[in-house]
Structure 1
């Protein structure tokens, strides 16, 4: 085994594992090469982290091969029309996960599920119940929590619950997932300057695949969610015609250190040399830039945006979800209210220990964060 990752080796391993050779449009090679260069030069991968990353990147490439094979075998997939009603894209740790899961419980909406984002394509011979993929997803989540035992206190995980669609975008190698799990600042620089239209076109293809597999989704609209979408708001609006951006708002003085704590927990799986101060500064700078760009896009298309306050999701989650559903043109009814309340009750039962952190843990201060993000108050309702 080589001491670093090599793109050609990853491509060859994926072709061998999948028994397939056609990746289709090779546009993805540029982000993959940028990522691999950053992983080798910046991420300080441990021996275990290197092996886990090699497996992860190979699996993502395998899924690209299998996607193209599935599309060739079932060309009718291209005729599926996923309609996206809303895209939640507030900063991390702003109540967006709760809002996403509440909205996904509505009979009117659907969302990507955790097991689907891990295993979006049926295995050979697998039935419509997706039993093998669900089993593997459970085992995968168990292994993840064993590597990061504190993660469940930060972010409630459910192998069969709604999950961020950015995990599907990972297969384009154009995703905020990578600089969240690894120290790869050069990749982050590339990502935020990149034209992400092809990555979002592929996200739409993944939604087609999932909708094609599940007839129960017929007639339902999608609700997507990820802070990654903040890096490409214009592209999101162009890709999903008629959708609205749902922006969850919380003071960055709290949200930024909270996400830094989450990143430190995740990145410790892959490196024994995590630097909390570097993590804090990196994400403070990234989110400052993202919110400035968000404000510029919002000013051009204000009618495409919906605002939700963190305090609302904390104290009146059902009312918050109701207001968003109304804003998406899908007025809430008794069935929605019952679904929302059922999820809130379940969430309270399953909630883990409190997430403990301070800004100072990451070389930040509340005063400096307040100053750096003062401009953001202008776009908060």
Structure 2
């Protein structure tokens, strides 16, 4: 597994070739963005300044964006879907909701990003990676005299009753990654037993995957289950938040990008696609206080980013858990057995 990700620790090892020059363009582009708003906006501004193409951007969670693209399939309104966990991108690719495109930038990407493209028959591509974990408010821990959690198993202890927040996996790619991670880590029966036990300690299922990190940072919740980079963002901003990589091991995401099938501005969408794979575009993340690991070999990895080469990662099966059948089945099971389960 870590051999597959060894390149994550090597930013700048290979020099980047220049992106095919994008001369000033006419026209528009509609981007569906599924990272945080603070990263979406500077991406759009930088692209507009570089190309002259006017961008209309909508920000939603990964699950919401997938649902919107599916609902709009007969008359697509978006052109490019940028960011968010890879599982819904893979599902969209399987359902023919996205376009095949082999960017000339593929040669500059790390192996895990290229593998994402290959598994989707070039209907999506990896743009960043990040490991699942949680953020813990250390101030609240001290006040309540609770031992610091270090493992997934700690979060189902009685002392964390109503102190844990996580997103709903139907709307959040982060939370679906957690669901799929538990199934792969524990086996399906034990995973659902765990999720039902955790349910008793959940104070809220949010729409957005990053929201629990903000809740833990502000003291609204003691623990927020998120991708580790989202907790890092809050800690770097000064919140009393400790980032935990669970002792049992954890899953990870390959944040992805796709061209929407039937895009009305397809030529401009391809210009965005190629540009978004350059070091220049990927390094905007750190300036926006986003601490994912970029997919371009020559993009600088933010110093505060979690070190994935030193993280105990499971061998996450993106092909299986990104498939339409498996994703739909697990979400239905979660709705039936976990979300509606009693909390007492």
The reply to whether TM is greater than 0.5 is: no
The higher-RCO structure (CA 8 Å, 6+ apart) is: 2
Q: What TM-score, normalized by structure 1, do the two folds share?
A: 0.26
Q: Give the structure-2-normalised TM-score.
A: 0.29
Normalized per residue, the structure richer in helix is 1
